Structures are given as structure tokens and as C-alpha cells.
């Protein structure tokens, strides 16, 4: 069975602090994709990153970085020097096979950055 | 125009009303989706259309009726809804049905059933 767990329901940090959002996934498929989406108060889910199961290289994009570790089935997301605009709900998702029925979202982590 | 546009942004309807949600994508994508987002629950896939044909229907009650007249437009027709149907309804699109490159989401319609 496929599953995505985001154990942190809500996190609050003070601006300029670093914060890591955890994502643990379960699948027996050897080929899969992992995603992170950001949902600001406006509602739309904004695509942040896609990673396939064969690429364990960590990625950095500005203040955002992602740590993919197959050994622990984790795909964690770190925001460095957080800003108020980072306040949002962040979703991790796992895709196996083809078709939208094979896309599994976590329940999200609400991040609040306090000025 | 942004990638995926949903209207209206907010909707309040009585249980006996009939209303429709609209979604339009300007990305040239071939697949479109309806998701339901309720508090504290993972996103729930409702319907999938690929090249205007419905390819997946996740046991959604018949009071929700989708329509995809062309690859750019998707509607969700609502009638005799229940209070538990109150949620954020998100439309999404992807390049194709395989969607391995992810989805582009709209801003959603916040639906309240009274």
C-alpha cells in the first residue's frame, strides 16, 4: 500500500529561522515520484519540486532544499532563513504508476512564520 | 491569464440548489482533474478527464456531475448537496494522464452548503 506521512501538523518559527518539514513515504514500487506543493492562503497548490526514485541527489533552490533518502523513505524539505511569505500549508505527495489515482498526498504541514 | 483559473472563488448554496463550478486551463494540457480538500484530510481525487473523456471516477456521489466539453474547460455540476460536502474544490491539469511531471492547480472554490 502507498502512504505519505507528514507527522508535523503545524509548525511556527520566527522569521529568519531555518525549518525542516518532514515527509515519510511508503511504497513497494521501485519507480516512483515525490513532490512537494505549497498552498498559500489564496488556495492554489503551487508545485515546488519533483524527484524520481532513481535520483537521490539533494537539491537546492534558493532558500529551499530537499533531502531525499531512500534508506529511510524520507523526502524532507528545509527552508533556510524563513520569511513571512513562506507561511502556508505544505504537502508532500507520492506518485506510483500512471494515472491520478496513483498520486497520494500527505495531510500537510501548516507553517507559520512569525515576523 | 494564470495557468488554471477557477470560478467562483466562494460559493454558498442551499441543499436544494443547483450550481456549477468552472475550471479553465491555458496551458495546453490534455488531462484535467477535480479534487476535494476537506480540513485535516488528504486531498481526495474525484474525477479525471483525459482528452475530454472521463477516465477515472472515484465513487463520487451522483450529486456531483462533471462535464468536460473540451480539453481547456472542466465543470462540476452540483445539486442537492449535503453539509458534509462543504470543502475546497480544486481543479488541476497535467500534460497528460500519466502526470509524471506533476499537476498545476487552480486556486479552488470554497463551497459552503447550508
Counting as low any pLDDT under 50, the low residues of chain A are none
Residue of B48, B24, B28 whose CA lies nearest to B97:
B48
State whether residue A42 sits within 8 Å of chain B by CB. Answer: yes
Residue of A109, A48, A113 whose CA lies nearest to A82:
A113
Residue of A30, A10, A11, A19 whose CA lies nearest to A77:
A19
pLDDT band at B102 (very low <50, low <70, confident <90, very high): confident
How high is the pLDDT of residue B52? Answer: 77
Distance from CA of A71 to the nearest CA of B (A): 23
For residue B1, pLDDT beyond 60: no
- Contact at CB, B90 and A98, closer than 8 angstroms: no
State whether residue A41 sits within 8 Å of chain B by CB. Answer: no
Residue of B nearest to A33 (CA): B100
Choose, out of A32, A44, A89, the residue to mutate when testing the contact with B (most B CBs < 10 Å): A44
How high is the pLDDT of residue B8? Answer: 97
How high is the pLDDT of residue A88? Answer: 97
Q: pLDDT (tens digit, 9 = 90+) per residue, B49-84?
A: 988 777 777 789 999 999 999 989 999 999 999 999
Mean pLDDT for B26-54 is 89
How high is the pLDDT of residue B34? Answer: 95
For residue B2, pLDDT beyond 70: no
How high is the pLDDT of residue A42? Answer: 86
**Residues constituting chain B:** 114
b vs e for B34-61, b when ≥16 Cβ sit within 10 Å of the residue's Cβ? bbbbeeeebbebbbbbbebeeeeeeebe
Secondary structure string (H, E, C) spanning chain B:
CCCEEEECCEEEECCCCEEEEEEEECCCCCEEEEEEECCCCCCEEEEEEECCEEEEECCCCCCEEEEEEECCEEEEEEECCCHHHCEEEEEEEECCCCCCCCCEECCCEEEEEC
**Residues constituting chain A:** 115
- 8 Å CB contact between B89 and B22: no
Mean pLDDT for B88-96 is 93
How high is the pLDDT of residue A40? Answer: 93
3-state secondary structure of A71: helix
How high is the pLDDT of residue B57? Answer: 73
Amino acid at each position: 500500500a502507498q502512504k505519505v506521512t507528514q507527522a508535523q501538523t503545524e509548525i511556527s518559527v520566527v522569521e529568519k529561522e531555518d525549518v525542516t518539514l518532514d515527509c515519510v513515504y511508503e511504497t513497494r514500487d521501485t519507480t516512483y515520484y515525490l513532490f512537494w506543493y505549497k498552498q498559500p492562503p489564496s488556495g492554489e497548490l503551487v508545485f515546488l519540486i519533483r524527484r524520481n526514485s532513481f535520483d537521490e541527489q539533494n537539491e537546492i533552490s534558493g532558500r529551499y532544499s530537499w533531502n531525499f533518502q531512500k534508506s529511510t523513505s524520507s523526502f524532507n524539505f528545509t527552508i533556510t532563513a524563513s520569511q513571512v511569505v513562506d507561511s502556508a500549508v505544505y504537502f508532500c505527495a507520492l506518485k506510483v504508476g500512471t494515472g491520478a489515482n496513483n498520486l497520494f498526498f500527505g495531510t500537510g504541514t501548516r507553517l507559520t512564520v512569525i515576523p | 491569464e494564470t495557468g488554471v483559473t477557477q470560478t467562483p472563488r466562494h460559493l454558498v448554496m442551499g441543499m436544494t440548489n443547483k450550481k456549477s463550478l468552472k475550471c479553465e486551463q491555458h496551458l495546453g494540457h490534455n488531462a484535467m482533474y477535480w479534487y476535494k480538500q476537506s480540513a485535516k484530510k488528504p486531498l481526495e481525487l474525484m474525477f479525471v478527464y483525459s482528452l475530454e473523456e472521463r477516465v477515472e471516477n472515484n465513487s463520487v456521489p451522483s450529486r456531483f456531475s462533471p462535464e468536460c466539453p473540451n480539453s481547456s474547460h472542466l465543470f462540476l455540476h452540483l445539486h442537492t448537496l449535503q453539509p458534509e460536502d462543504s470543502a475546497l474544490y480544486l481543479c488541476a491539469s497535467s500534460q497528460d494522464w500519466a502526470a509524471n511531471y506533476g499537476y498545476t492547480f487552480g486556486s479552488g472554490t470554497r463551497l459552503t452548503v447550508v
